[in-house]
Structure formats: structure tokens, C-alpha cells
């Protein structure tokens, strides 16, 4: 037998069982006394037994009512808890966010943004996928990631893009290198320098190669690295110089290196948030995008200070 009772029916029953008064139970339920009486009669008709013995002076549970009471308490508690979780999700307090990001951005930007976000939303879980730019946009467009943090993609009908920062490229060299004495360095000054590049499949390498073409240079990297830490260590040993966006500087963490802006051409790496058009973000993900923007502003200020202040430190 299927008993079709709603949580509201069960709550009305519990209010009456707890108070023993139709008038008090109706007040707690927020309904009129006749409405409460109709609800109880409806429940008794559905169950096929009386739930309360009524006299002019008292309202007491019947054996069927006593049997129903712990069941109703459990069901109402589960219903209230489930809707409490739903309310937290709607407010952005709960949920799961899948973020795909460029490795350098995942390492530099995401930890601070997540820490900033979880001060207010500690119950939200994260899954981070750090990958190359093409894979970040693919994960977002295919729905495997809620948001991507990457280079500006080509215009499309699938992805929306929100700019976070235009990340300026600069020369990274040892503090005792002659180029370190300049406030701004032209790309042409790298023509006679041993150059250490990122791996060919990285976005940084694609942009440095494009800058060399614009400057009319034919430079073949002496070394090619997949990890920024390796690249920084090679430069620190005096094996060459490199060109990196300013937001990557905290990943080097080597005290004898300096960063100087590169010019002619001036090169900036546009970094932003990509989302899938037509796919609504969860409330938590919307709040996290704001945290990303705030963390980007904070990092831009701190790395600008490090770039001006001499040697590179995290």
C-alpha cells in the first residue's frame, strides 16, 4: 500500500502530537485550526486508522499515532536536512567546482583564489585539471570543466571569455647580467644571447616565437623546458636568458634573477575565464569567478612590486 503523505502533512501531525492542542499546533504550523483538523482527518483517511483520540479536554496519540511518530520525525528531519543542503547550494555554500587551467596559472593563481574563496565558502569542493591551453578550452566546451582559466580563445559560439589580466612579458636574466641594468629591454637585444625557451607545445613558447618573428629575429633556443622551475634554474646558473610573463615569477623563487619589461614589440598574454555558452554556472562557481578576479588583482600588484624591486622572490 502506498501512503501518499507530504512532509507538510507529517509536520502538522508532529505539531499536534507534541502540543496536544489543535489551536497551538495550528499556530506552529501557520494555518487555521479548521485547516489543521482537515489535514489530520485526511491523514487518518489515507492510513485507515485514527491517529489521535480526542476528548473535550485532551488530544492523545492512538497506538497507530504512536507508531507513526518516530517515522514522521525521521522523515521530516531528512526532508529538512535535504532542503537545508539545497538552500546552501543555492547560496553557493555547498557544491563542487571543476576548474581547468594552464599549469602556470593553476600553480600561481588558483591556490590563493581557492584559499580566499573558502574563507567564506568552506564546504565547496574543487577538482583542478592543469593542462595545455587547447585542452583547457576543450574540457570547458565539452562540459568536463565548469570554468577554464587560460589564454583568450578564438571567437566561437561555444565559449564565453572574461578577461582577468593582460600578463606582460619580460626578460629574465641574472642580476649580474648587463641587460639587468636596463629599465626596459628590446627583443632585439636577445639576438646575441643564449636563449632558454619553454617547450614548443606551451603557450609561452608560442608567444615568444611570435615576438621573435615580429622583431625580425631568428633565435633557436639553446634549451627547451617543460617546467618553469627547470628554466629558472638554468638561467640562474648563467646558461642563458629567457622571456616570461610577469605572473609566472613566483614559480621561479630564485633570488639572483631579475625581470625587465620587453619592448618592440610589447607583448602581453591575455588570461581570463572561459565558460560554456548556454550552460549556467552554479552559485558557488559564480562566486569563485569573483574570487579569481580579486586574487588576480592582488597578484598583479605583488608581482609588479617584485619586478620593480630587483631580484625575483615568491
- pLDDT range class, residue 314, cuts 50, 70, 90: very low
Task: Provide the pLDDT for residue 283.
Answer: 85
Domain closes at, from 90, 110, 138: 90
Is residue 145 situated within a structural domain?
Answer: yes
Query: Are 72 and 148 contained in the same domain?
Result: no
Sort strands 257-263 and 159-174 into parallel, antiparallel or unpaired.
antiparallel
Q: Same domain, yes or no, for 294 and 215?
A: no
Verify that 115 and 264 share a domain, yes or no. Answer: no
Total H helices, total E strands in the chain: 10, 12
Q: In this model, does residue 126 exceed pLDDT 50?
A: yes
Q: 108 and 19: one domain?
A: no
Predicted confidence band of residue 305 (pLDDT cuts 50, 70, 90):
low
Residues 264 and 184 both lie in one domain: yes
Give every CB contact of residue 297 below 8 A, 6+ residues apart in sequence: none
pLDDT of residue 72: 87
Q: Please indicate, yes or no, if residue 1 is contained in any of the structural domains.
A: no
β-pairing, 257-263 with 196-198?
Answer: unpaired
Q: What would the mean pLDDT of 13-33 be, rounded to a whole number?
A: 89
Tell me the three state secondary structure of residue 14.
helix
Q: Point out the domain boundary residue: 59, 90, 121.
A: 90
Angle, CA 285 vertex, CA 282 and CA 286 arms, to 5°: 90
Which of 4-8, 24-28, 133-137, 210-214 is predicted least confidently?
4-8
Strands 123-130 and 147-151: unpaired
At 83 the pLDDT is: 63
Does residue 306 fall inside a structural domain? no
Which of 167-171, 264-268, 279-283 has the lowest average pLDDT?
279-283
Q: Is 79 helix (H, G, I), strand (E, B) or coil?
A: helix
237, 286: one domain? no
pLDDT tens for 164-196 read: 999 999 999 999 999 999 999 999 999 989 999
d(CA 157, CA 296): 27
Give residue 310's pLDDT: 55
Residues 102 and 137 in one domain: yes
Q: Contact at 8 Å (CB) between 292 and 109?
A: yes
**Same domain (yes/no): 124, 105:** yes
**Residue range of the domain that includes 83:** 7-90
Q: What is the pLDDT of residue 54?
A: 85
The better pLDDT of the pair 100, 45 is held by 100
> What's the domain count of the chain?
3
Amino acid at each position: 500500500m502506498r501512503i501518499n503523505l507530504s512532509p507538510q502533512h507529517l509536520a502538522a501531525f508532529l505539531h499536534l502530537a507534541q502540543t496536544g492542542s489543535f489551536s497551538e499546533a495550528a499556530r506552529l504550523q501557520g494555518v487555521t485550526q479548521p485547516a489543521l483538523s482537515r489535514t489530520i482527518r485526511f491523514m487518518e483517511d489515507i492510513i485507515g486508522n485514527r491517529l489521535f483520540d480526542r476528548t473535550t479536554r485532551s488530544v492523545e496519540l492512538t497506538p497507530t499515532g504512536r507508531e507513526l511518530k518516530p517515522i514522521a520525525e525521521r522523515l521530516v528531519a531528512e526532508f529538512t536536512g535535504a532542503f537545508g543542503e539545497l538552500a546552501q547550494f543555492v547560496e553557493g555554500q555547498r557544491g563542487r567546482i571543476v576548474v581547468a587551467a594552464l599549469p602556470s596559472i593553476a600553480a600561481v593563481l588558483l591556490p590563493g583564489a581557492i584559499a580566499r574563496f573558502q574563507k567564506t565558502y568552506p564546504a565547496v569542493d574543487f577538482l583542478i585539471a592543469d593542462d595545455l591551453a587547447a585542452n583547457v578550452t576543450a574540457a570547458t566546451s565539452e562540459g568536463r570543466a565548469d570554468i577554464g582559466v587560460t589564454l583568450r580563445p578564438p571567437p566561437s559560439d561555444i565559449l564565453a571569455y572574461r578577461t582577468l589580466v593582460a600578463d606582460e612579458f619580460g626578460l629574465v636574466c641574472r642580476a649580474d647580467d648587463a641587460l639587468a641594468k636596463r629599465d626596459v629591454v628590446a627583443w632585439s637585444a636577445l639576438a646575441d644571447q643564449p636563449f632558454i625557451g619553454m617547450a614548443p607545445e606551451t603557450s609561452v613558447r608560442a608567444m615568444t616565437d611570435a615576438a621573435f618573428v615580429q622583431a625580425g629575429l631568428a633565435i633557436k633556443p639553446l634549451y627547451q623546458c617543460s617546467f618553469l622551475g627547470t628554466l629558472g634554474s638554468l638561467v640562474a646558473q648563467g646558461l642563458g636568458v629567457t622571456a616570461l610573463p610577469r605572473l609566472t615569477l613566483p614559480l621561479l623563487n630564485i633570488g639572483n634573477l631579475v625581470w625587465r619589461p620587453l619592448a618592440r614589440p610589447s607583448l602581453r598574454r591575455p588570461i581570463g575565464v572561459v565558460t560554456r555558452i548556454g550552460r549556467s554556472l552554479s552559485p558557488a562557481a559564480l562566486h569563485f569567478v569573483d574570487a579569481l578576479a580579486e586574487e588576480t588583482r592582488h597578484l598583479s600588484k605583488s608581482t609588479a612590486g617584485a619586478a620593480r624591486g630587483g631580484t625575483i622572490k615568491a
